[in-house]
Amino acid sequence: MRGGDGTHGPHQPGPGTGNSVSDTRVGGSVVQAGEIHHLTVYGQAAAPPAPPALPVPRQLPPTPRRLVGRDDDLAALDRELEEAPDGAADVTVVVTGPAGVGKTALAAQWLRRLAGRFPDGQLYADLRGHAPGGPADPAEALGGFLRAFGIAPVPRSFAEGAALWRSLAAERRIAVLLDNASTAAQVRPLLPGSEHAVVVVTSRRRLTGLGIDGAVFRPVDVLSDDASVQLLAQRVGAERVERELDAATEVVERCGRLPLAVCLAAARIAARPVQPLAATAEALHQESEGLAALDVEGEAVRHALDASFEVLGADTVRLYRLLGLLPFPVFTLDVVCAVGALEAAEADRLLGGLIDVHLLEEMEDGFRFHDLVKLHARARADEVRERSEGRAAVDRVLDWYLATTTAAEALLSPSHRTLRRDYAAQQVSNAREFEDEPAAVHWLDAETGRLADAVRWAAATGRAATAWQLVDAMWPLFLRLRPARLWIDAHRIGRTAAREAGDHEGLLRMLTSGGTGLRNAGQGEEAAAWFTEALQLARVTGRPLPEADALYGLSQTHRPAGRLAEAAECLRLTADLREAGGDPRGTALARLALGDVLLADGRPAEAVPVITDAHRDLVAVPAAYEAARALAFLGQAHAALGAHDQADRCYAEALAEFRSGRAGHWEARVLELTGDLARARGDLTGAAARYSESLARYEALSAPDATRLTAALAALGTPPGEP
């Protein structure tokens, strides 16, 4: 792993540096992967093209045109808004009830009816409170909300992201549906805290803890007898129900008047148009011994699910079982094709069959099982899980993710793409290729949750090589999107998997990449332990470039701890090893980091020749973005030595490069440095102007540096926002 990948490059300011998820610049405390080419128009740097405007978020899941038997519930929800003034809302409603009772449908229907009150968007997050894989991390939902409003990458700190979410929501009229919540603690950081927002939380639990946040509660019960029969008639035809009203009544009683169970029974009836309803009623009686005694966790519904399952064709049954193997809450058509070894058209046909009998739900971004159906599908998957058919299906999905993620890695971080990939099959079918970097970043962003699940799945099913290789392939995701918790958790799994596989190269990569994640998350002592283990392993196994990576990582743990001499020594050794290994870019980056450490140690005269050499070599590579960083450091050194004109020239050239490359955080940093320079020259008006420009850019990036700039302006007697 080379410094040129951004794996162990010189220190940069913190996270949140990109302007959009498709931005090919890298922010944070690591270095850009790949090249950034300087775009120049004579006389000035060209302004970057404006990113396309994002649509207003309309994320609510689909609902039936008419929600049977819920008029009273809808009216009760309406009353919660009656006293709210025009244009304001500030209502949080917790809709509770047993599984399958229709909480999500009720909440989504109500919010959709009120769409005119929310011109700025309707947001949705499935918190998976009762999913087999466990509840969702609220950071996952928070990231989705921020990206819906164009914030990408999202802040590394969850607290910082939550604060940014509240700021975004403050002046927007929005609705938020938090579905399948597990606890009040899971929900609380996602509340927008705005007087213009309506939030609906659905849960099987009462979540009384949200009462302290001002929430009101609406319990939802099963349908009445009449409404249950209406729902059945809606699905199978009113005439058919009227002809056999007694049998229809018995069917809904056997279903416990639970909407999910009634819909499943209706699907079975609709699939057998000549069979009397009495036959279904009798079958339900024999299978369930009376669904009226429904277990809210869905045990009795299993029989209704079995009834729907039995009307499926053999090829659809096979796909249903294989889908039950998947650990993903929502899965895409690509994954369906992989698990079933299917072409897209055939997969689409079979999925349609499952949707028709209500065993599958189609979402905006894929397909999912209702929680109760998921349990049923997992039970059916147990029939093939340990057989060759089931093992091959798991291999196909993991191979597909490994191949597609590796394709993104090869495009986004080509010098990082050095380690082998082991596939169960000789050829991976349907693996994606990406036309450009934004497409690859977009895919990684959309698949982050499923990739995390795939890593855990690979490790849990004994596929150790796949587990660590998938973590390795995810490097551009960690580097660009900065999911701090996943970065660390995935590398912990990868480190264990590489040890189990007995793969020294894989273990070295996991230790150095994981150490970088730990260091970026502020866990310096543990990061140092990982880098030290990597250094020892690299020396024992005779691998000089991984040894250099480990030394670089150690240098970055020494610096924030104030051990500048130790950091400098590590960087000198790093540069020597990379130079001997024929890695000119990595060598230059190590020397650039050394110059930065010398500046921090108050030794600008020693830093100037070191940084000058690094700049020359980065220009020759070429690596325009890194060369611009070198100019910024060189400007700092000249400024410290009193060579103000030389510093000014360095800053001007660096600023032009960062602006043309849309490197927002470094643009803000250089503007701050030019403010420092103006103040050193006694030009307080110029300093205030530069600080104000810098502050505006930091604030646009939600960077914590804004606090420092606010203090600098206050010291000049200039309030923020004034020139």
Q: Are residues 257 and 148 in the same domain?
A: no
Q: Is the pLDDT of residue 326 over 70?
A: yes
Q: Is the pLDDT of residue 242 over 70?
A: yes
Q: Are residues 144 and 239 in the same domain?
A: no
373 or 168: which carries more pLDDT confidence?
Answer: 168
CB neighbourhood size of 540 (10 A)? 9
Give domain status of residue 263, yes or no.
Answer: yes
Q: Are residues 198 and 101 in the same domain?
A: yes
- CATH label of the domain that carries residue 189: 3.40.50.300
CB neighbourhood size of 420 (10 A)? 10
pLDDT on residue 719: 67
In this prediction the pTM is 0.71
Q: Are residues 108 and 244 in the same domain?
A: no
pLDDT tens string 711-720: 999 998 876 6
Q: Are residues 130 and 208 in the same domain?
A: yes
Q: Is the peptide bond before 51 cis (omega within 30 degrees of 0)?
A: no
Q: Closest Cα partner for 108 from 176, 164, 210, 170?
A: 176
pLDDT on residue 304: 61
% of the chain exceeding 90 in pLDDT: 62
Domain count, the chain: 2
Q: Are residues 84 and 194 in the same domain?
A: yes
Q: What number is the average pLDDT over the span 247-264?
A: 86
- DSSP labels, 113-172: HTGGG-TT-EEEEE--TT-TT-PPPHHHHHHHHHHHTT--SPPSSHHHHHHHHHHHHHT-
For residue 328, CA distances in Å to 62, 114, 318 come to 20, 32, 18
Phi, psi for 286 (deg, rounded to 5): -70, -35
Q: What number is the average pLDDT over the span 115-141?
A: 89
Q: Closest Cα partner for 477 from 449, 454, 448, 450?
A: 448
What are the tokens at 192?
A: 């927008």
Q: Are residues 173 and 240 in the same domain?
A: no
pLDDT on residue 152: 80
What are the tokens at 13?
A: 């300011």
Q: Is the pLDDT of residue 156 over 70?
A: yes
Contact between 96 and 200 under an 8 Å Cβ cutoff? The reply is no
Q: How confident is the model at residue 95 (pLDDT cuts 50, 70, 90)?
A: very high
Q: Are residues 200 and 295 in the same domain?
A: no
Q: Are residues 209 and 233 in the same domain?
A: no
Give domain status of residue 393, yes or no.
Answer: no
Give domain status of residue 77, yes or no.
Answer: yes
* Domain that includes residue 88, residue range: 71-219
Q: Is the pLDDT of residue 270 over 50?
A: yes
Run of H or E including 177 = strand 175-179
CB neighbourhood size of 347 (10 A)? 21
Most confident of 54-58, 345-349, 374-378, 436-440: 345-349
pLDDT on residue 717: 82
Of the candidates 219, 242, 277, which is a domain's last residue?
Answer: 219
Q: Is the pLDDT of residue 18 over 50?
A: no
Of the candidates 160, 191, 219, which is a domain's last residue?
Answer: 219
Q: Are residues 176 and 261 in the same domain?
A: no
Give domain status of residue 9, yes or no.
Answer: no
Give me the torsion for CA of 246, 250, 252, 255, rounded to 10°.
-170
CB neighbourhood size of 704 (10 A)? 15
Q: Are residues 211 and 129 in the same domain?
A: yes
- Residue 723 DSSP symbol: -
pLDDT tens string 426-484: 788 788 999 998 899 999 999 999 999 999 999 999 999 999 999 999 999 998 888 88
Give domain status of residue 298, yes or no.
Answer: yes
Of the candidates 309, 344, 372, which is a domain's last residue?
Answer: 309
Average pLDDT, the chain: 86
pLDDT on residue 292: 32
Residue 175, beta-bridge partner list: 122, 198
pLDDT on residue 89: 61
Q: Are residues 215 and 76 in the same domain?
A: yes
pLDDT on residue 215: 92
Give domain status of residue 174, yes or no.
Answer: yes
Q: What number is the average pLDDT over the span 58-68?
A: 88
Sheet holding 175-179, edge to edge: 122-126, 175-179, 198-203, 91-96, 216-219
Give domain status of residue 172, yes or no.
Answer: yes
| Lowest mean pLDDT, pick from 73-87, 297-311, 679-693 | 297-311
Give domain status of residue 181, yes or no.
Answer: yes
